[in-house]
Structure 1
Amino acid sequence: MTTTKETRAFQTEVKQLLDLMIHSLYSNKEIFLRELISNASDAADKLRFEATTDDALFEGDSDLHVYIDVNKENRTITIRDNGIGMSRDEVIEHIGTIARSGTKEFFGRLSGDQEQDAHLIGQFGVGFYSAFLVADRVTLTTRRAGLEHEHGVRWESAGDGEYELETIHRDGRGTEITLHLREEADEFLDSWRLKSIIHKYADHIPFPIRMLGTPLPAAEGEEEKPAEIETINQASALWTRSKSDITDEEYNNFYKHIGHDFEDPLANLHQRLEGKYEYTLLLYLPKRAPFDLWQAEAKHGVKLYVRRVFIMEATEDLLPRYLRFVRGVMDTNDLPLNVSREILQQSPAMDAMKKGATKRVLGLLEEMADKAGQSDGENQDAAANTDFADFWAEFGNCLKEGVIEDAGNRERIAKLLRFSSTTSDEQSVSLSDYCARMVEGQDTIYYITAESLAAAKHSPHLEVFRKKGIEVILLHDRIDEWLTSHLNEFDGKKLQSIAKGELDLSGIGENAEQEQKEHEEKVKAAEPAVKKITEALGDKVKEVRVTDRLTESPACLVSDQFDMSSNMERILKQAGQNIPDMKPILEINPDHELVIRLAKMRSKEKIADYASILFDQAILAEGALPEDPAGFVRKMNALLAQ
Structure 2
Amino acid sequence: MTVDAHKETLEFQAEVSQVLNLVIRSLYSNKEIFLRELISNASDAAEKLRFEALTDDAFYEGDSNLRIRVSVDKERRTVTIEDNGIGMSRQEVTETIGTIASSGTKKFLEALGNKSDDSASQSQLIGQFGVGFYSAFIVADKVTLETRRAGLGAEHGVRWESTGEGAYSIETIEKPTRGTSITLHLNEEEDEFLESYRLRSIISKFSDHISIPIEMLKEQYGAEEKEDEEKAEPEWEQVNKGTALWMRNKSDITAEEYNEFYKHIAHDFEDPLDQVHNRVEGTNEYTSLLYIPSRAPFDLWERDQKHGVKLYVRRVFIMDEAEKLMPHYLRFVKGVVDSDDLPLNVSRELLQHNKKIDTIRTASTKRILGLLEKMAKDEPEKYQKFWKEFGRVMKEGPAEDFANKERIAGLLRFASTKSEGKDETVSLDQYLERMQEKQEKIYYITADSYAAARHSPHLEVFKTKDVEVLLLTDRVDEWLVSHLTEYKGKPLQSVAKGQLDLGDMEDKETLEKEAEEHKGLLERVKTALGDDVKDVRVSSRLTESPACLVADEHDMGANLQRVLKQLGQDAPQTKPILELNLKHPLVEKMDQEPDEDRFADLSRVLLDQATLAEGGQLEDPASFVHRLNKLMLSLSA
Q: Which residue of 2 aligns with 1:563?
A: 555
Q: Which residue of 2 aligns with 1:199?
A: 204
Residue 180 of structure 1 aligns to a residue in which SS?
strand
Question: Could you tell me which amino acid in structure 1 is paired with residue 571 of structure 2?
Answer: I
TM-fit CA distance, 1:225: 4.9
Does 2:482 match 1:485? yes
Question: Which aligned pairs between 1:1-20 and structure 2 lie closer than 5 A?
Answer: 1-3=2-4, 4-20=6-22
Does 2:405 match 1:405? no
2:173 maps to which of 151, 168, 177 = 168
Q: Which residue of 2 aligns with 1:380?
A: none
TM-fit CA distance, 1:223: 5.0
Does 2:454 match 1:457? yes
Q: Which residue of 2 aligns with 1:296?
A: 303
Residue 179 of structure 1 aligns to a residue in which SS?
strand
Comparing 391-400 and 115-124, the one that deviates more: 115-124
Cα contact 2:457–2:548 (8 A) shared by 1: yes
TM-fit CA distance, 1:598: 0.9
TM-fit CA distance, 1:637: 3.2
2:382 maps to which of 373, 380, 387 = 387
Q: Distance in 2 between matches of 1:567 and 1:99?
A: 35
TM-fit CA distance, 1:320: 1.1
Q: Which residue of 2 aligns with 1:381?
A: none
Question: Could you tell me which amino acid in structure 2 is paired with residue 2 of structure 1?
Answer: V
Cα contact 2:308–2:326 (8 A) shared by 1: no
Residue 323 of structure 2 aligns to a residue in which SS?
coil
Comparing 112-121 and 267-276, the one that deviates more: 112-121
2:444 maps to which of 435, 442, 447 = 447
Distance 1:484 1:19, change over 3 A: same
Q: Which residue of 2 aligns with 1:148?
A: 153
Q: Distance in 2 between matches of 1:225 and 1:289?
A: 50
Q: Which residue of 2 aligns with 1:378?
A: none
Task: Extract unaligned runs of 5+ from structure 1.
Answer: 372-383
Q: Distance in 2 between matches of 1:560 and 1:223?
A: 92
Q: Distance in 1 between matches of 2:501 and 2:239?
A: 72
Question: Could you tell me which amino acid in structure 1 is paired with residue 510 of structure 2?
Answer: E
1:249 maps to which of 256, 259, 270 = 256
Question: Could you tell me which amino acid in structure 1 is paired with residue 202 of structure 2?
Answer: I
State TM-score, norm by structure 2. Answer: 0.95
Query: After TM superposition, where is structure 1 displaced by more than 4 Å over at least 4 residues in a row?
Result: 222-228
Does 2:51 match 1:46? no
Q: Distance in 1 between matches of 2:188 and 2:201?
A: 21
Cα contact 1:216–1:224 (8 A) shared by 2: no
1:626 maps to which of 612, 618, 627 = 618
Q: Which residue of 2 aligns with 1:317?
A: 324
Q: Which residue of 1 aligns with 2:534?
A: 542
Residue 553 of structure 1 aligns to a residue in which SS?
coil
Render the CA deviation track for 1:285-343: whole Å, top value 9, x for unaligned. Answer: 11111111111111115111111111111232121111111111111111111111111
Residue 36 of structure 2 aligns to a residue in which SS?
helix
Q: Which residue of 2 aligns with 1:528?
A: 520
Does 2:118 match 1:116? no
1:500 maps to which of 497, 503, 512 = 497
Residue 32 of structure 1 aligns to a residue in which SS?
helix
Render the CA deviation track for 1:568-617: whole Å, top value 9, x for unaligned. Answer: 11111222322222110000011111111111111111101110111111
Cα contact 2:440–2:503 (8 A) shared by 1: no
Does 2:81 match 1:84? no
Distance 1:250 1:470, change over 3 A: same
Q: Distance in 2 between matches of 1:218 and 1:430?
A: 71
Does 2:183 match 1:182? no
Q: Which residue of 2 aligns with 1:93?
A: 95
Residue 37 of structure 1 aligns to a residue in which SS?
helix
TM-fit CA distance, 1:274: 1.8
Q: Which residue of 2 aligns with 1:379?
A: none
Q: Distance in 2 between matches of 1:64 and 1:422?
A: 60
Cα contact 2:143–2:163 (8 A) shared by 1: yes
Render the CA deviation track for 1:471-518: whole Å, top value 9, x for unaligned. Answer: 11110111001100000111011111010001121412xxx5xx3332
TM-fit CA distance, 1:9: 2.1
Render the CA deviation track for 1:164-222: whole Å, top value 9, x for unaligned. Answer: 222121111111111101112222112121111111110001011111233133679x9
Distance 1:24 1:640, change over 3 A: farther
Cα contact 1:106–1:292 (8 A) shared by 2: no
Q: Distance in 1 between matches of 2:215 and 2:126?
A: 29
Cα contact 1:292–1:298 (8 A) shared by 2: yes
Question: Which aligned pairs between 1:368-387 and structure 2 lie closer than 5 A?
Answer: 368-371=375-378, 384-387=379-382
Q: Distance in 2 between matches of 1:287 and 1:475?
A: 24
- What is the RMSD of the two structures over their aligned residues, measured on CA atoms? 1.6
Render the CA deviation track for 1:33-71: whole Å, top value 9, x for unaligned. Answer: 111101110111011111122222222222111111111
State TM-score, norm by structure 1. Answer: 0.94
Render the CA deviation track for 1:385-424: whole Å, top value 9, x for unaligned. Answer: 2110000000011110111111111111011000011111
2:245 maps to which of 211, 229, 238 = 238
TM-fit CA distance, 1:114: 2.3
Cα contact 1:105–1:292 (8 A) shared by 2: no
Residue 38 of structure 2 aligns to a residue in which SS?
helix
Q: Aligned pairs, how many?
A: 624
Question: Could you tell me which amino acid in structure 2 is paired with residue 246 of structure 1?
Answer: I
Q: Distance in 2 between matches of 1:223 and 1:132?
A: 35
Cα contact 1:529–1:595 (8 A) shared by 2: no
Q: Distance in 2 between matches of 1:467 and 1:282?
A: 51
Q: Which residue of 1 aligns with 2:570?
A: 578
Between the two proteins, what is the percent identity of the paired residues?
60
Cα contact 1:93–1:99 (8 A) shared by 2: yes
Residue 25 of structure 2 aligns to a residue in which SS?
helix
Cα contact 2:208–2:241 (8 A) shared by 1: yes
Comparing 559-568 and 9-18, the one that deviates more: 9-18
Task: Extract unaligned runs of 5+ from structure 2.
Answer: none
TM-fit CA distance, 1:26: 5.0
Residue 189 of structure 2 aligns to a residue in which SS?
helix
Q: Distance in 2 between matches of 1:33 and 1:529?
A: 78
Residue 360 of structure 1 aligns to a residue in which SS?
helix
TM-fit CA distance, 1:27: 3.8
